Chain A
Amino acid sequence: MGIYELSLATIVGINIILALGLNLITGYCGQISLGHAAFFGTGAYVVALMAKAGYPAPINLVCAMLITGGIGIVVGVASLRVRHDFLAITTMGVGFLFLGIVRQQDSVLGGEMGLSGIPSIGLEKPAFLMLVLAVAALCTLFSVYIKKSWMGFAFDAVATDEDTARLLTVNVPVYKLTAFALGTAMAGLAGGLYCYFTRFIMPDDFGFITSISVLSMVAVGGIGSVPGVIIGTMLLTLLPEMSEFLSDYKLFFYGALLFGVMRFAPDGLAGVGSSLRGMLKRSGRAV
């Protein structure tokens, strides 16, 4: 594997972690979040500051998760007060708020220019890739586990009809907060890994477009479906890189794909997959 392929694979891994986190919040628990990049960024900045201060990588990554998850709970509390459409705008607002704060803090956070010279994690590129893939695998297993557990059952109820869930004794507020805490912590972890990957971060890396990119990976893959999200992420990360031609059209491609999938196949790849399986089953019987 050349350097380029290694880097690409690493980015795919990081994006998978990020997308699975959003899938927990939006896919499992039905809370739409247009500000996921803010948590990605929080994790990255936490690791950047701590690494530059000399702390070791494992501690930094854990702190990134905890701090981001904590902020996620605060945002989650905000989500309790507002519904659906209001929530989408509020989370979008959170994203802009994060950017706004970071851009103005020249002294500590590097302002517009960002933070550079972040120390290395101490791993060579192939080893780092292994680390990222291992973390991605863990997150995948975790997501699947949650889905199968009673927590996933409760999430499903909250996402489908939260008022009825309340009547069935489900403590809806606590479950929403849990989804936010877990999903944003994953985003924070992805952010920390991203920080060690690029060793140079700036506010523009964590803007609204990034939030939308992650949401598109989840939506194209199929909201709520772990395999769908993974494939969607791989697709949306790799395809634009696969040809020079596409590279300049990358953003147009995102937009068109997002629109196209929602317009023609709103259940994403996962939906297409299960329709295909259904068709095959039926034709199998007919034969």
Chain B
Amino acid sequence: MSVLLDVHNVTMHFGGVHALTEVSFDVQDGEFLSLIGPNGAGKTTMLRAITGVVSPQNASIKLAGQAIERLATHRRAALGLAMTNQIVRPFNSMTLRDNVALAVGHQRVATVFRAITAINRDTERKKAGELLEMVGIGDYADQEVLGQPLGRLKRLEVARALALKPKLLLLDEPLAGLNHIEAARFADVVVGINREGLTVVMIEHNLGEVLRVSDRLVVLDNGRKIAEGEPESVMRMPHVRAAYVGKEADHAAA
């Protein structure tokens, strides 16, 4: 198995706050890796550093062997990186289908010359319909985004990310805000996608689902990596449990 994503020595601070300190890990091709840790550990910052939304002071990030830490976000996306947001961000001026169609046709907008000469959206809209089916919301394809329930919008985010035919899918708390049953179903959708060969890195607080679906875990606390390995063995490590419990004890004491 080869390494798809190599994250090395990422350090990021905002003002006086050290969000990440020398975090390193790698992601094998085809695996399902979950990034866990108490609130404020730096998990979302890590994902943003990988996509390029934030620029760490120090980082070496390689996707399929290619260094991407200096590239703009849209270039990294073009190289095969896709991400879904913790707070869903659909284009609310478009229907669900069009949201995905834009992603399907992303090659068409790669240059302005290509974009201005291309009119037909039929192929892409059809493919968008298929992707929406795949994540279970095909029936709502031609509805407007405004007013859709959260569960559907989360699936829309995934469909849109998949439309890019990415090599690596990053998910930021995809199960947040979903109830027990919705969360399990959604997790199954993601697992299905992973089994088809797409590498997944997921941030999640819902430890039940995390343990059920992940191949490996990486644990962050206070901006540092404190553990990694198989889910069961990681959760048994005393310092990992301490990190979670410690935060709860802090809250209880305050």
Contacts and interface: CB of A to CB of B under 8 A. Distances in A.
A167 B77 contact: yes
B106 A168 contact: yes
A153 B85 CA distance: 21
Interface residues of B, number: 33
Interface string B106-133: 1011101011111101000000000000
B89 A169 contact: no
Given A146-B116, A153-B121, A170 B106 contact: yes
Among B98, B119, B160, find the residue whose CB has the most chain A CB atoms closer than 10 A. Answer: B119
Contact of A149 (B103, B110, B119, B160): B119
B102 interface: yes
Contacts of B91: 156-157, 160-161, 164
Contacts of B121: 150, 153
B214 interface: no
B73 interface: yes
B135 to A, nearest CB: 17
A205 interface: no
Given A146-B116, A161-B91, A154 B74 contact: no
B78 A169 contact: yes
A175 interface: yes
B45 interface: no
B51 interface: yes
Contact of B89 (A148, A154, A164): A164
B112 A178 contact: yes
Nearest to B73: A166
A154 B109 contact: yes
B53 A150 contact: no
Among B110, B116, B164, find the residue whose CB has the most chain A CB atoms closer than 10 A. Answer: B116
Interface string A163-187: 1111111111011001000000000
Contacts of B118: 149-150
Contacts of B108: 150
B93 interface: yes
B94 interface: yes
A160 B144 CA distance: 14
Among A154, A157, A159, A167, find the residue whose CB has the most chain B CB atoms closer than 10 A. Answer: A167
Q: Is the interface of A mostly helix, strand, loop or mixed?
A: helix
Contact of B109 (A161, A163, A167, A170): A170
B105 interface: yes
B82 interface: yes
B92 interface: yes
Contacts of B102: 153-154, 157, 168
Contact of A167 (B83, B114, B116, B119): B83
Contact of B77 (A148, A169, A174): A169
B106 A169 contact: yes
Q: Range of interface residues on chain A?
A: 20 to 34
B93 A168 contact: no
A49 interface: no
Nearest to B106: A169
B116 A149 contact: yes
Contacts of A157: 91, 102
A150 B119 CA distance: 6
A148 B102 CA distance: 13
A151 B109 contact: yes
A167 B163 CA distance: 12
Interface string B81-101: 011010001011110001000
Contacts of A154: 102, 109, 115
Contacts of A156: 91, 93-94
A165 to B, nearest CB: 8
Contact of A161 (B78, B89, B105, B117): B89
B117 A149 contact: yes
B94 A151 contact: no
Interface in B48-85: 51, 53, 72-74, 77-78, 82-83, 85
Given A153-B109, A167-B82, A168-B164, A148 B119 contact: yes
A174 B158 CA distance: 26
A149 B109 CA distance: 10
Given A157-B102, A161-B89, 14 more contacts: A145-B119, A149-B115, A149-B119, A150-B116, A151-B112, A151-B116, A153-B98, A156-B91, A163-B89, A164-B85, A164-B91, A165-B74, A166-B77, A169-B110
**A-B complex: 7 closest residue pairs judged by Cβ atoms:** A151-B115, A169-B77, A166-B73, A154-B109, A150-B115, A150-B118, A150-B108
16 contacts: A150-B108, A150-B114, A153-B105, A153-B115, A156-B91, A156-B94, A159-B93, A160-B91, A161-B91, A163-B53, A167-B77, A167-B82, A170-B106, A170-B109, A171-B72, A171-B110
